[in-house]
Structure formats: structure tokens, C-alpha cells
Chains A and B, each alone.
Chain A
């Protein structure tokens, strides 16, 4: 597993070397159910041959010249019981595969989630949440489908391939020729088919994706399209996109039309019958055996017809497992460092000759130097992409610098215990995530077990009490329910209340929230001012008033600090800074 920020062991060990091995180790954990599934499949296929044999017996008896009613009754009973039993085997196979599939879905998701919890903040801030969600739902569902119907159908039907050779062997060894040749060519043909199909299905999916996303975009932006009088151009573009999708679908249809096993089956049925008849004519086998043999060959129908769909299901499932593993096997670069320094922070922050890059070819921050004294408020300003967010993320050790260092209270971050740092540094992001629980629970999230009085006190300090009590059920209002949605400014104040509860020594605030009216602005200002008292505060802000009154202003430009100082200093030294404080 390597190092991790948070670790709970998954219930059993799995081998994550490659998708197939990984799925196998999950399967082995549920060996009993899986075995039941396999048994059911084998039993089902084995009993499938019985009617064929019985048909032969009855036919032989009928043509023997002395038909015996008892033979018919016996055959009818054998067929009934064997096939009811076979139905039960099939039921066992289906149910056991279903349970295996669902259990593996559950366990894979559990393992995946535990792995996500153990990943660093770096990982989570770089990885898109939408993508992780898609993997945790759709991809894991594909893994489920890999077992049922995927393996269920493939394993279930492949068993049928081996019934005709067994019956053929019993009748006459020469009759093995057709079924064995069929099995051989069947596997070759299916492999070739899948190999050919894969790039085309990819093409179908990607062309559909392209068409769909542009279509959704055009309809969302219909006002812009109309205003620019570009409707006809958009329609022409849609025509092109759907043409590409149409062509890909037709190409897929053409490949499916050439599904060779169907042809092989046709030939096998014909030649098999001919072969048996020739043996009968030579007097080698009785006519009843011709019946037995022909009925047995008919069993090949099942693996041939079901394979069109189920093989693709398996290949999709393996592809999804690969996508899951690629996330799970991502190395963590940070560890908990439980042995590190653990004491209350004072809140002095020092950046020394720091450079940072997310990847090798792009430097996000370069040559950053500054010192912040405990309790100071720092405003960070600059255009989008100038490195403001990256800068503050280095403070709670979301990332480690590529060069240089960040020190808190004179000690390098890498020497602190991670838990100590994170519990005393709070980050309030621009997009504030609230859980769909009550407002009180959302505020108390940072401090489980906080009393209602504590929650209310925190909300009051964050200027949130007034709007919370105006909600239908005040602190017990469930967010998202019955249309309860909160504005950006309200969410921000709930997040601030969270911070009041934990009382961090360093507060980092991405305050790009806009206030539409002046009263809300006044409240936000008051809340942030209250929050910054007694702690070191970094504010990424667009608000002139916060910039104006900060103890230190850092102006970022393309990953470097272009200006740093107090308002008075910058008004003198920086033209661009002066420009924003001038009436246009």
C-alpha cells in the first residue's frame, strides 16, 4: 500500500498487479458462492444432453418393430425430472453468479473508497470529483456486469461446447470430427471478432460523446447562438457530428453482420448430419444415434448466439477494472508522519526560495520569499492562473515544494506531524461543499459532539445566525431538501462557522464570493474580520476593502510575487496596484 494519509485496512488482501489478477483475488474471497455458480453451470450443461439421448432411445425403440410403451413413459419422466433438475441448476448458477457479482461490486467499491480516503490532498485537488464519481458508480457497475451476465453467460455457454463431443464419443469416435473442428474454429473466430470490434466500439462511443456534448452545449448556450444568429451553423455542425456517429454505428453493424461463428454453426449442423448419415448407411451406427447426434449438435446454438453480447461485456468490465486500478495504484507522496513535531502552532509562516511545479514541464510557482508574523492578515491578489491557490495550498502541506521550503514557527512543514498541521490549519474554499444533512450538522462537522449552544455561538460570530433562523426549520433545516438552497455568501458563512468551532491557528480563505447587495457585503466583511482575529489569516480576495486593510498584500503574477508590502507601500511602488485603486 505504501504511505498514506489515512488508513483503514480493507477486509482482505487483494493483488493489484493487473486487472485480471485483481478481480481474481476478489473472486477467490467469495470462493464458496463462486464455486456454487460454476457447479450450477456444469450441472446445467451436463443435464442438457439428456433429452438428446432420450430422443435417440425412443426413436430406436419406435423403429425396432416392437415399440414399448414403458420406454416412452420412462423417457418422458427422465426428460421431465432431468430438465426440472437442470432448471434448478440453472437457477443456482444464475443466483450464485448474481450474488457473486453484487458482492464483488460492494467489495470493490469499498476497497476503492478506502483507497480514496488514503490519498493525499494533492491527489484530491488534482483529480476531478466528477471523474472519481463516474469510476465509483459506472465503472464499478461494469465490473458487476462482467460477472453477471458476462462470465455467467460465457462460462455457462462454453460448457455446452463440450457436450456434443462427449455424446459423439459415445456414439462413434469418428463423429468427434465436426464438434471438435467447430470448437477450434469457434475460438479462433471469436478472438478475431473481438479484436476487430474493439476499435469500432471505441469509435462509436467517442463519436457519440462528441455529438452529445456539443449538442448539450448548443442548447445550454442557445441564447448566445441566437444572439449571434448562428443557428444554421450549429445545425450544420450537428449534422457533421451525427454523420460521424452514424458511420461508426454502421461500421459496427457491418462487423456484427459478419459474425463468423453463426456461419460455422450452419456448416457444422449440415456436415454433422451428413457424417452421421453416412455412418448409418455403412451400418456403423443405428438411426437412433443419428437423432442423438443431431440433437446434441443443436446445443452448439447457445454458445454461438450468446457470445455476440457477453464477450464484449467481459472486455468492458476488464477495461473498467483497469481504470479503477489506475487510481488505486497511484502513489501517495505524503505520509502521516506520526513521529513528527506535535505542538500548538503560533502561526508564523515563512516561504524561502520556494519553487513548485505540478509536472515536469510547467512551473507553477517560482522564487517565492515572504514572512508572515503570527496573527497577521495577508491579502493575496492577482489574475486567474497567477498561482494564488497553489501558494496557499503549500501552507497546509497539500503539496510539498519542489525546491525551497515552507516553515511554520521556524520548523519545516515536512518535520511536523501531518495531523497536527491539518487540525490547526483550516481552508475555506471558494466552492464550499455542504452535506445534505441539517445546517447544525454541517457546522458541527469539524467538531463532532459540539453542543447546539456552541454551534449557535459559532454561527453568530460568522454572521450566519440571522439567515439560518429565517429558514423553515432554522438549524434543523436539511440542505437541498424542498428546494432549500443557499447562496455562495451563505455557504461561506457556514464554512466560517465551522472554522470558529475548530478554532484553527491559521485560516486560509478563498474569498472570491461576490455579494450582490451592500448589506450582505457588510455581513461578509464583519464575519471575515471576526474570523481573522487572533489567527494568521490568508485571504485570496477580489474585495478592494480587504486588500486595502490587510497587514500584508502579496500581488501574484505568472507564478511569482510581483509586488509585496502594505497598501501605503504598494500605492507608491506599483503602477498596476495604483491603477485598481483609481476611479476610471
Chain B
């Protein structure tokens, strides 16, 4: 159970002991300690100041009852009230400003640490945990945690006010005060009963809302297709059903949530009525003064309001702490890829050797066992095989995204673990299967791996591909914005930009996980040209999905269940009639011109 009960948990989640958790939270709060101290002081003062005006008003009344006093006493007391109220406002002002800064700054350092941790985390980690959930930890959870700070200050303020009020009431008349305190359990009982009900209705409501939202979304995405087939009426009926369902759910939820204040209002009124009566009786018996009676009346709200907010505080504390726990778990998640040295040579030749290497995924699934492969300097190899044969693992081990369990992986004859990882990766160019671009211009994306390259150099590189004509297909050439994740340009264009990025980087080792998406034949030709340019300048490992890519490799490695079963050139292997020719017939046959020539007919 713990704090994260009811929320989806991840395997890197851990349970911190209360002491550790508070210690960690304190580490983030520590730089803010001066501000927090001032805030706490202001809160204490505000709570005290807030409880005083009724006392003064009561004092004034008693003076008045005793006979018409000197007007200076009145002015003085009224002046004290004004000063107190002004002081209260000033304290609120200081408090709010400082709190805004404390929250924003703690929030900032927590999010930054969480983001930095997830950036530095291994690929193995990112493979397992969805990016959406990581993002929500960095943004939503940090915000939930800062809400905890606001709440704590609020409750501290209320608590002080309630304690000061209690002391004032007790000193004024302890019998009446005790009678008054008797109403407190009734409030607490009501609030906790109500809270359970509200939580249940809310949860049901949330779930129903999620379903309804999904249907509404679907009926909106379905409009275009409905219009295509002239089925508007039908989809409208579907929409209407879910809209009405949404209405019913919301009304039910709203009904429960809108009863709480009226009911606490009624309970509060009962307490006041009791005070009015018993208090007045006490006055006639001479136990308390009329001023003290009014003091009790004025204090009802000041006393009961804090109780209400303190009662509901605990659930929110749990929400806040479990949010903190989730953020810290993300920050503390352990790495698996560990470097042993910081070797950083001037030049990389690009020789890669796998010697008797074994590689298992975290779930224990063995991909490569006693695997050996030697790639010469400048050689271009294509790896082919069915899904799950281990193609991607080989590429990702070279990029040092994963740790292997035994054997050796040498770059230029030296253990890959002994390199400075950052520098090593700067000498490797990688294009992923779905080429990833960042919001920004084409130029910014090409420059991503080598920020210092000039626009002229980029243009010179671009002109090597079909005379740079491909840039014309972008609305604003190099300055075209590609949209989030490159969504505003086509898949073919994204691949071209990703290849341009590697061309600009000019790496010693090039790793390509080729896309399977289809590209228009004109762009396909340009991609091929770009690819050939890269192949000429580096050692390349190609996970090939295109026939033309396989054919352009110096050597084809045929992989089955993590073992190399055949190797050679395209024509050699096809002639052998082994696993490669089977793969060819499964994956590549339909890409040949020969197929195009005979498919239609």
C-alpha cells in the first residue's frame, strides 16, 4: 500500500522510510530556509493577530457597558484594530510573495533534477517506462508536491489561530469554552463521513467521465468518415447518447459535492445558537461579562473554520508525499550502463569487434550468446534477419545504450567500457527507425549533433544530394519549421533531415535502423544518395529494410536467434539459396523492379 496506493506504480518505485523521505524533502527546502523561516514567523504572527480583534472588540464593549467612557479609549482601541488589520494584510502580502518564490523555486529544482535524471538514465530504462508517465512525474507530481507546501502553511496558520482562540476562550471562561469544544467532534465526524462519500462519488465520476470523454473524442474523429458515407445522423445519435450519459454522471457528482457547505453551515449555526443562549445565561449569572459573551460569538467562525481545513488536510498530505516519493524514485533510479574509464582519443578509426559476447535484457531474455563479429575500419555491413533475431541489439550495444553481461566489445581494439561515453557517442552517428526531429527549423535539426556547423557548410552538404533540389520541397527551405516531433513534414523528409544530421556530424561509425514506412519514389532516390555519401566516409552498421540498402553493403550478415548463420554479398548469398534467400522472398522481393514489372500485368 503505502502512499502510492491507487496510483499506477512503476517497478523503479521504492518506498522511502518517513525519515529518509523527510530528509530528502528537506534537502530541497534547505536553500529556501531563510524564506521559510520568515514565512513561518509571519504565519505565527498572522494567526495570533487574527485572533486578537475579537478580544479588543469585547474589551470595547465592556468599557461601553460600564458607562460612556472617555472617547480617547475608543479611538485608541479602534486604532489598534486598524493597525492589527493592516498588520494582517502586510503579513499576508509578505507571506504570499515569499511563498510564491519558495514554491516556484523548489518546484524548479525538483523538476530540473527529475528531468536531468531521466535524460542521463540508460536507454534500457526508457524502453521500459513510458515517456508519458515520466513527463507526468516531472510536471504534475512536482506541482502536487508544491501544493503540499501551500497547504502546510495554510494549516499552520489555521492551527495557530485555533490554538490562540482556544487559549483566549479558556481564559475568558473555561466552562463555556469546554461546552463549545464539545461541538468539535461532531464536525470532525461529519467531515470524515462526508469525505468518504465524496471520494467514492468522485472516483466513480472520474471513471465515468474518462469513458464519456473517450466516446466524445471518438465521435468527433469519426465525423469526417461519417460525412464520407453520409452517415451523419447515425454518428449524431451515438454522440447524443454519450453526451446525456455524461450529463447524468456529472449531475450526480455535483449534487454530492455541493451539499458540504450548507451542512457545515447548519452545524455551525447550531453551535452559535447554543453559545448565544448558554453564554447569555452565564452573563446574567455574572460568570462572564457581556463583552466576553460577544467574544465567544465572534470566535465561532475563527475556531471552526480551521478545524474544517485541518480535518481535510491529511488526505492531501498523503497525495503530496506520494508525489514526492514518485519524483525521488525517478531521480534515484539506478543506472546499468557504467563506464570504467575516460579514454578519449583524438581520432577514431572505426574498427568494431564483438568477442564471445553475451547479452541479456533486464527480463532475463538472452539475445546474444557467445557472439563474435569483426567489422573492419570503413566497412559497411548490413544485418538482416527476422524480428527478434538480435539486429537492433547489436546496433544498440555499439551505441553503448545497453550493458552486456560477458565477453568483449572493442572499439579500435579497446574495451568500450574504458571510453569517455560522451566523447564516444560524438563520434557515432545514429538514425533511428522512426527518425526523431525536434520542434524547430530544418537547419536547427541538422545542426543538432554538431551545434557549431555553419549554414554555408550545411548548404554545401545539402547540394551534394541531387544538387540540393530536395530543399525546394520545404516551404521555406532550411528555415522551414518541422513541428513537434517533426510532425509537419513527411516521413521521407524526416529521414532525409536525419541523414543530413549524420552527414553534418561526420561520425567515424554510422548506425542506421532503417525505417519500414513507405516513401514516395522520388524522395526515396534522394535518401539513397544521402545514404551513399555517409557510407563512403564511415564504418557503417545497417539494419536494412530496403532492398537497395542491402545491396549497397560490402557484407551482409544473416542473423537467426542471435547467431550469424550466413555472410557474404547479396548475389553470393542469393546464389547459396539458404536463409538469406528465404528472407529475400519474405521481405525484399516486392521491392525489386522485377516485381513491379510483373505484379500488374
The residue that B229 contacts in the complex, of A75, A287, A446, with Cβ under 8 A, is: A446
Interface stretch of the complex, out of B100-108, B174-182, B366-374, B533-541 = B100-108
Q: Could you jot down 7 A-B contacts, CB within 8 Å?
A: A95-B258, A213-B439, A233-B451, A252-B100, A445-B231, A518-B587, A580-B522
Interface stretch of the complex, out of B6-14, B276-284, B311-319, B321-329 = B276-284
Q: Is A229 touching B422 in the complex (CB atoms < 8 A)?
A: yes
A-contact 0/1 string along B111-124, CB 8 Å cutoff: 11001101110010
Shortest Cβ distance from B601 into A: residue? A549
Task: Kindly state whether residue B134 has any CB partner on chain A within 8 Å.
Answer: yes
Q: Is A266 touching B485 in the complex (CB atoms < 8 A)?
A: no
Task: Kindly state whether residue B75 has any CB partner on chain A within 8 Å.
Answer: yes
CA distance in complex: A263, B96 (Å): 14
CA distance in complex: A231, B422 (Å): 9
The residue that B473 contacts in the complex, of A82, A95, A383, A446, with Cβ under 8 A, is: A383
Task: Kindly state whether residue B484 has any CB partner on chain A within 8 Å.
Answer: yes
Assuming the contacts A266-B89, A433-B224, asked whether A257 and B100 have C-beta atoms less than 8 A apart, the reply is: yes
Assuming the contacts A133-B220, A514-B517, A518-B589, asked whether A217 and B448 have C-beta atoms less than 8 A apart, the reply is: no
Interface residue ranges of A227-277 to B (CB < 8 Å): 227-231, 233-235, 238-239, 242-243, 245-246, 249-250, 252-254, 256-258, 262-263, 265-267, 269-271, 273-274, 277
Interface stretch of the complex, out of A161-169, A311-319, A422-430 = A422-430
Task: Kindly state whether residue A469 has any CB partner on chain B within 8 Å.
Answer: no
Q: Is A382 touching B522 in the complex (CB atoms < 8 A)?
A: yes
The residue that B259 contacts in the complex, of A91, A137, A522, with Cβ under 8 A, is: A91
Assuming the contacts A133-B217, A266-B85, A435-B222, asked whether A221 and B422 have C-beta atoms less than 8 A apart, the reply is: no
Assuming the contacts A62-B284, A383-B473, asked whether A246 and B240 have C-beta atoms less than 8 A apart, the reply is: no
How many whole Å from A12's CB to the nearest CB in chain B?
A: 15
How many whole Å from B342's CB to the nearest CB in chain A?
A: 14
Q: Is A515 touching B590 in the complex (CB atoms < 8 A)?
A: yes
Q: Is B484 touching A270 in the complex (CB atoms < 8 A)?
A: no
Assuming the contacts A72-B280, A103-B247, A106-B246, asked whether A62 and B290 have C-beta atoms less than 8 A apart, the reply is: yes
Interface residue ranges of A85-124 to B (CB < 8 Å): 86-88, 90-91, 94-95, 97-99, 101-103, 105-106, 109-110, 113-114, 116-117, 121, 124
How many whole Å from B577's CB to the nearest CB in chain A?
A: 17
How many whole Å from B519's CB to the nearest CB in chain A?
A: 6
Q: Which of A8, A433, A519, A579 has the most CB of B within 10 A?
A: A433
Q: Which of B223, B250, B492, B597 has the most CB of A within 10 A?
A: B223
Q: Which of A5, A8, A129, A513 has the most CB of B within 10 A?
A: A129
Task: Kindly state whether residue A572 has any CB partner on chain B within 8 Å.
Answer: no
Interface size class of A (residues with CB under 8 A): 35 or more
Q: Is B258 touching A98 in the complex (CB atoms < 8 A)?
A: yes
List residues of chain A with CB within 8 A of the CB of B425: 226-229
Assuming the contacts A67-B283, A383-B520, asked whether A136 and B220 have C-beta atoms less than 8 A apart, the reply is: yes
Interface stretch of the complex, out of A53-61, A188-196, A352-360, A365-373 = A53-61
Shortest Cβ distance from B268 into A: residue? A83
Q: Which of B243, B273, B428 has the most CB of A within 10 A?
A: B273
Q: Is B247 touching A75 in the complex (CB atoms < 8 A)?
A: no
List residues of chain A with CB within 8 A of the CB of B93: 257-258
How many whole Å from A282's CB to the nearest CB in chain B?
A: 9
Q: Is B126 touching A222 in the complex (CB atoms < 8 A)?
A: yes
CA distance in complex: A220, B438 (Å): 10
The residue that A79 contacts in the complex, of B229, B269, B492, B518, with Cβ under 8 A, is: B269
The residue that B595 contacts in the complex, of A217, A243, A545, A579, with Cβ under 8 A, is: A545
Q: Is A427 touching B228 in the complex (CB atoms < 8 A)?
A: yes
Q: How many residues of B contact A (CB 8 A)?
A: 163
List residues of chain B with CB within 8 A of the CB of A267: 82, 85-86
Task: Kindly state whether residue A185 has any CB partner on chain B within 8 Å.
Answer: no
Q: Is B82 touching A433 in the complex (CB atoms < 8 A)?
A: no
CA distance in complex: A214, B485 (Å): 10
Q: Is A518 touching B588 in the complex (CB atoms < 8 A)?
A: yes
CA distance in complex: A583, B528 (Å): 11
Q: Is A58 touching B401 in the complex (CB atoms < 8 A)?
A: no
Q: Is A219 touching B89 in the complex (CB atoms < 8 A)?
A: no
Assuming the contacts A246-B104, A258-B93, asked whether A423 and B99 have C-beta atoms less than 8 A apart, the reply is: no
The residue that B100 contacts in the complex, of A84, A217, A254, A558, with Cβ under 8 A, is: A254
Q: Which of A105, A224, A245, A546 has the most CB of B within 10 A?
A: A224
Interface residue ranges of A523-571 to B (CB < 8 Å): 525, 529, 542-549, 558
Shortest Cβ distance from B521 into A: residue? A580
Assuming the contacts A98-B258, A105-B250, A522-B590, asked whether A222 and B221 have C-beta atoms less than 8 A apart, the reply is: no
Task: Kindly state whether residue B490 has any CB partner on chain A within 8 Å.
Answer: yes
CA distance in complex: A59, B298 (Å): 13
Task: Kindly state whether residue B30 has any CB partner on chain A within 8 Å.
Answer: no
Q: Is B68 touching A581 in the complex (CB atoms < 8 A)?
A: no
CA distance in complex: A350, B95 (Å): 74
CA distance in complex: A217, B487 (Å): 12
Task: Kindly state whether residue B244 has any CB partner on chain A within 8 Å.
Answer: yes
CA distance in complex: A67, B236 (Å): 72
Shortest Cβ distance from B269 into A: residue? A83
Q: Is A235 touching B112 in the complex (CB atoms < 8 A)?
A: yes
Q: Is A63 touching B600 in the complex (CB atoms < 8 A)?
A: no
Main secondary structure of the interface of A (DSSP, over half): helix
CA distance in complex: A80, B268 (Å): 9
Assuming the contacts A95-B255, A109-B243, A223-B126, asked whether A246 and B492 have C-beta atoms less than 8 A apart, the reply is: no
Interface residue ranges of B466-519 to A (CB < 8 Å): 472-475, 484-485, 489-490, 492-493, 501, 505, 511, 516-519
Task: Kindly state whether residue A576 has any CB partner on chain B within 8 Å.
Answer: yes
Shortest Cβ distance from B426 into A: residue? A229
How many whole Å from A36's CB to the nearest CB in chain B?
A: 13
The residue that B119 contacts in the complex, of A225, A277, A518, with Cβ under 8 A, is: A225
Task: Kindly state whether residue B339 has any CB partner on chain A within 8 Å.
Answer: no
Assuming the contacts A242-B111, A385-B473, asked whether A94 and B259 have C-beta atoms less than 8 A apart, the reply is: yes
Interface residue ranges of A354-409 to B (CB < 8 Å): 381-386
Q: Is B97 touching A257 in the complex (CB atoms < 8 A)?
A: yes
Task: Kindly state whether residue A216 has any CB partner on chain B within 8 Å.
Answer: yes
List residues of chain B with CB within 8 A of the CB of A287: 61, 64-65
List residues of chain B with CB within 8 A of the CB of A106: 243-244, 246-247
CA distance in complex: A543, B596 (Å): 8
Given contacts A117-B227, A271-B82, A529-B600, 14 further A-B contacts (CB under 8 A): A83-B268, A105-B246, A132-B220, A148-B258, A221-B436, A221-B438, A227-B449, A235-B119, A238-B115, A239-B112, A274-B74, A281-B74, A385-B474, A433-B224
How many whole Å from B428's CB to the nearest CB in chain A?
A: 7
CA distance in complex: A79, B276 (Å): 9
Q: Is A227 touching B107 in the complex (CB atoms < 8 A)?
A: no
CA distance in complex: A82, B74 (Å): 33
Assuming the contacts A257-B93, A291-B294, A517-B587, asked whether A230 and B448 have C-beta atoms less than 8 A apart, the reply is: yes
Q: Is B516 touching A516 in the complex (CB atoms < 8 A)?
A: yes
Task: Kindly state whether residue A512 has any CB partner on chain B within 8 Å.
Answer: yes
Shortest Cβ distance from A216 into B: residue? B135
Q: Is A253 touching B473 in the complex (CB atoms < 8 A)?
A: no
CA distance in complex: A459, B131 (Å): 37
List residues of chain A with CB within 8 A of the CB of B393: none
CA distance in complex: A258, B71 (Å): 34
The residue that B273 contacts in the complex, of A67, A77, A542, A543, with Cβ under 8 A, is: A77
Q: Is B297 touching A55 in the complex (CB atoms < 8 A)?
A: yes
How many whole Å from A215's CB to the nearest CB in chain B?
A: 6
Q: Is B131 touching A216 in the complex (CB atoms < 8 A)?
A: yes
Interface residue ranges of A286-301 to B (CB < 8 Å): 287, 290-291, 294-295, 298
Task: Kindly state whether residue B272 has any CB partner on chain A within 8 Å.
Answer: yes
CA distance in complex: A281, B485 (Å): 76
Q: Is A253 touching B99 in the complex (CB atoms < 8 A)?
A: yes
Interface residue ranges of B111-167 to A (CB < 8 Å): 111-112, 115-116, 118-120, 123, 126, 131-132, 134-135, 138-139
List residues of chain A with CB within 8 A of the CB of B232: 6, 117
How many whole Å from B166's CB to the nearest CB in chain A?
A: 20
CA distance in complex: A225, B448 (Å): 9
Shortest Cβ distance from A86 into B: residue? B265
